A and B are shown apart, each in its own frame.
Chain A
């Protein structure tokens, strides 16, 4: 287990029109939003939650120029130093002929690198588990998760979420990060932990 175990207040919303003002109110009140899980990408939600701009594209640029550099150094070393060949009487340093390969390696590096980085940032990977706060978040519910600190009164937060229009509110103790393992064993662990909280 990676992130540590924390206590959360979970509020479920039926409608994104209710969700948006709720997100705004929760932030104004000063509660810490752990995350909002939605069945589909909701336009403008990242802005409402105050998330910072992703740095995925910067990573993509770096992967891209790495691909460019790899292709150019590799091809030019092979064709001028390692194994020069006379191809159609062209000069050994035949830059135009290399551009398509360079382009393809740039795209390959950028694409594969960005997919892996994306998976890492979202904590997604085969054989890796993450806690689901509500299974219907993948179907039709908008699930807002608020992280509790030592000073948070979770009953107050629950009342606040109900007032903000949540159709279902509960408290969960859960692992925040991702882990390698099986759900059935982990779930048992939670139940024990929950008693002791």
Chain B
């Protein structure tokens, strides 16, 4: 059993390269886009673009890496054994949560306390006073509650995730477990996993997408929105797990992970792509059918306005492609095809988040140019760096996990 894994040089080079490219993009935006200039709606468009892109990327990538801990949580609560052989991969991904959490928190604070009502209209007190709808929501949508709840959320995600990871890492040091210790250890895992899941439901499942994303289109609301956001990030999180598993397998690691495990991860990617489409449709169809003006405003600009192409591309990338390509058993077991699909899904949901943020902030001026991609690469670089650190400092197999045998003989 490999105690530590030496990262290949190319991985380190790519990580460094992505972070440098991203940092250059960030610096370019910082200098050229006047992010601290005047910030009314539609006035300083490039400044709005700077913050909108940072918001989109920080929230997206944070929710994606946090989905990895959700995966561990649900499989723990379901007493699932099959994923134990690959469990260190989602663990490693979830270890990025504190890093991206702090970054996202700073960006959110800069937007809210910097008075960027071009992003969040409700941070402007004059607007809140004159606008009846926003005024009615001000008990929930106000900078103080936003700050406190965001801080609690990021803090608890990081803390509960840390608890789950340290339980797992501790089992490496304590040696093989007998029945009693194993039982107690599994129960402890269940306790912390359930705390995480409950808090995850309170945050990702409801409040956090309302605050961070839905409040951009402040007059509009949808009861499907948080689920939709969750489905989007969960399927992207699963794709990220698949990518790292393929990477480690190609480097001769994870000897207990077989095609059966890869197949199951592929099934998850397929199933949650369909789940995402189900929520996408549920949200769209009800609003289309009821046809109430305050609800249709959200889709007006997306379906009939300048975002029409992106709107349908979103559906093709995130529903059409996974449905048709991942349907076959052989494609879920094919490393190359699975890698391609994972990248496509992660990119597709990045586009999904882009079309959540941009229409309400940039209107017809939104762009997908090197700056947008550069910031995305910065976040990918940070994820790769942190995951690489976790891989190279910890054993890649939870060798004393009581369910490891079940995972080794896993057969679909």
Contacts and interface: CB of A to CB of B under 8 A. Distances in A.
Contacts of B289: 88, 96-97
B327 interface: yes
A88 B291 contact: yes
A98 B225 CA distance: 22
15 contacts: A43-B411, A57-B329, A61-B327, A88-B289, A88-B291, A96-B281, A96-B284, A96-B285, A96-B288, A96-B289, A97-B285, A97-B289, A99-B281, A99-B285, A100-B285
Chain B: interface size category: under 10
Interface of A: 43-44, 57, 61, 88-89, 96-97, 99-100
A142 to B, nearest CB: 19
Interface string B163-195: 000000000000000000000000000000000
A96 B315 CA distance: 14
Contacts of A88: 289, 291
Contacts of A43: 411
A44 B411 contact: yes
A123 B290 CA distance: 50
Contacts of A61: 327
Contacts of B284: 96
Contacts of B327: 61
Contacts of A89: 291
A17 to B, nearest CB: 15
A6 to B, nearest CB: 33
B302 to A, nearest CB: 14
A43 B281 CA distance: 38
9 pairs of A and B residues whose beta carbons are closest in the complex: A96-B285, A96-B288, A43-B411, A99-B281, A44-B411, A97-B289, A96-B284, A99-B285, A88-B291
A97 B284 CA distance: 11
Interface string B284-309: 11001101000000000000000000
Given A96-B288, A99-B285, 15 more contacts: A43-B411, A44-B411, A57-B329, A61-B327, A88-B289, A88-B291, A89-B291, A96-B281, A96-B284, A96-B285, A96-B289, A97-B285, A97-B289, A99-B281, A100-B285
Contacts of B411: 43-44
